[in-house]
A and B are shown apart, each in its own frame.
Chain A
């Protein structure tokens, strides 16, 4: 299940807050080599964890299995303030456009070397459902170029916002994805799971784990 929490809701639950920022540090600093984000406490936090950010938590077996963060484009976000050189023209902005950042699946919830795991696709279904509830139909994503093909296979309408560049150990391209009912249908069909994944409220308490 995917739970969507505001930053203050997340901070109201120290177990979840700790798990989120530890997972982010583990994936983005230790695994992907974004050294600028390294912090001695092993909890990755940045200037965009502000009150308007929305945190999507994928919970499986009482633990944090996946995560993504949604940022409004009506105020500064990664593409405008950190990754400017990924965008060639004016960056898309507006109430219906959000930026998806820090997409992450915990290592033992990944499947195969290249496949999209069940947690990974649940996060995708989650942000589409979340967007549809709020009249949002576009997301900006900075991801590896090979994701573009998968987005097209899931019936997103995709448009590149700039050329690909190298960040850390990765190639990254900024892409604007538009989703429709057809996208949600396709994602659900590929997952073989028709029921909504977005859950309202808080998940149960999860175990406080030491950052590894």
Chain B
């Protein structure tokens, strides 16, 4: 099997992952072969972002817990040479090269020193740009990094598809969380409305008052954000509440 076929297989596995953790695990199983054992991916927060909000920027992370806690507690994001580098010019870079490029101060170097305590001595990072123009930084850390251009190609392709998959999965989780809940009665009334029944007819079928059937339909319409009953029915079908 050629290297490229192998890369395609990695990507297939990553795209078949069903949770963000699984994406993270599958990507790392690829990068580990090249000495990269820790992954952090997220949008770059603005300077001064409070610690409690920094978590919201993280998409995938498998850093040692203690290291992540220290990074957030000491507000390393404001000093991390990689973050500075990506803000200036989003481009692929090695950790140590980024420190030189931004002329990292003592504090900046301390971030790396601390990473070393967790066996993260060097690594590579590269940017991806999301649809709304945000810079997503992927940072992979490990021991000594010496990658050929072909190996870099494999890692960056696999990472890109991993981030894409993780974003799809996150979007799906959000949709489920914001999923509108229709009650059983609302759903029943919508089902009959979809078949062209009037409020009075629905009330007769379900043995409820006409006023009650009207109320159920109005509630369903409001929950579905529809302007009229036709749109409400269309939305309910699209979202799979009725058939």
A contact residues vs B (CB 8 Å cutoff)? 88-89, 112-116, 145-146, 148-155, 158-160, 162-164, 173, 190
Pair A114/B8 contact, Cβ less than 8 Å: no
When chains A and B are docked, how far (Å) is the Cα of A153 from the Cα of B11?
16
**Chain B contact residues, CB within 8 Å of chain A:** 2, 4-5, 7-8, 11, 90, 127-136, 150, 153-154, 156-157, 160-161, 163-165, 167-168
Say whether, besides A146-B128, A163-B4, A163-B153, A153 and B167 are in contact (CB < 8 Å): yes
> Would A114 and B129 count as touching, CB distance under 8 A?
yes
- The distance from the CB of A144 to the nearest CB of chain B, in whole angstroms, is 9
* Best-surrounded residue of A116, A149, A150 (most CB of chain B within 10 A): A149
Residues in chain B near residue A164, CB distance under 8 A = 153, 156-157
Shortest beta-carbon distance from A161 to chain B in Å? 9
Neighbouring A residues of B2 by C-beta, 8 Å:
88
Which DSSP category, helix, strand, loop or mixed, fits chain B's interface? helix
Chain B residue at smallest Cβ distance from A146: B129
Knowing A148-B161, A160-B11, say if A89 contacts B131 (CB, 8 Å).
Answer: no
Q: Which residue of the partner chain A has the closest CB to B238?
A: A185
Complex contacts, A163 vs chain B, CB 8 Å: 4, 150, 153-154, 157
The listed residue (A112, A151, A158, A162) touching B133 by CB distance below 8 A is A112
Question: In the complex, what's the smallest C-beta–C-beta distance from A184 to chain B, in angstroms?
Answer: 15
Chain B residue with Cβ nearest A152 = B164
Question: A3 to chain B: closest CB distance in Å?
Answer: 25
Distance of A164 Cα from B133 Cα, bound (Å)? 21
A149 pairs with B160, CB closer than 8 A: yes
CB distance from A88 to the nearest CB of B (A): 4
Q: Is the CB of B156 within 8 A of A152?
A: no
Does B133 lie within 8 Å of A116, measured CB to CB?
yes
Closest to B154 in A: A163
CA distance A114 to B161 in the complex (A): 19
Is A116's CB under 8 angstroms from B4's CB? no
Complex: chain A residue closest to B168, CB-CB: A152
**When A159-B8, A160-B8, A163-B153 are in contact, do A148 and B160 touch as well, CB less than 8 Å?**
yes
In the bound complex, CA of A164 to CA of B126 (Å): 14
- Neighbour of A149 across the interface among B5, B150, B154, B163, CB < 8 A: B163
Given contacts A162-B4, A163-B150, contact A152 B161 (CB under 8 A): yes
Contact between B136 and A149 (Cβ–Cβ < 8 Å)?
A: yes
A153 to B161, CA, bound (A): 11
- In whole angstroms, how far apart are the Cα atoms of A114 and B87 in the complex? 12
What 4 new A-B contacts, CB under 8 Å, besides A115-B133, A149-B129?
A114-B90, A145-B156, A149-B167, A162-B4
| Bound-complex Cα distance A112 to B132 (A) | 10
A160 to B163, CA, bound (A): 15
Task: Say whether, besides A148-B160, A153-B164, A115 and B132 are in contact (CB < 8 Å).
Answer: yes
Q: Is the CB of A153 within 8 A of B130?
A: yes
Give the distance to chain A from B153, nearest Cβ to Cβ, in Å: 4
Q: Which of A89, A149, A190 contacts B4 (CB 8 A)?
A: A89
- The interface residues of chain A lying within 8 Å CB-to-CB of B11 are 159-160
Minimal Cβ-Cβ distance residue in A for B153 = A163
Question: What are 20 A-B contacts defined by CB distance under 8 Å?
Answer: A114-B129, A114-B133, A114-B135, A115-B132, A115-B133, A116-B131, A145-B157, A146-B127, A146-B129, A148-B160, A148-B164, A149-B129, A149-B160, A149-B164, A159-B8, A160-B11, A162-B4, A163-B150, A164-B153, A190-B131
Distance of B204 from chain A, by nearest CB (Å): 37
With A148-B164, A149-B163 in contact, do A173 and B128 touch (Cβ < 8 Å)? no
Contact B7 A160 (CB under 8 A): yes
A115 cross-chain contacts in B, Cβ below 8 A: 131-133
How many Å lie between the Cα of A152 and that of B168 in the bound state? 8
When C-beta atoms are compared, the residue in chain B nearest to A156 turns out to be B164
Chain B residues near A148: list those with CB within 8 A.
128, 160-161, 164
Smallest Cβ-Cβ distance to A153: which chain B residue: B131
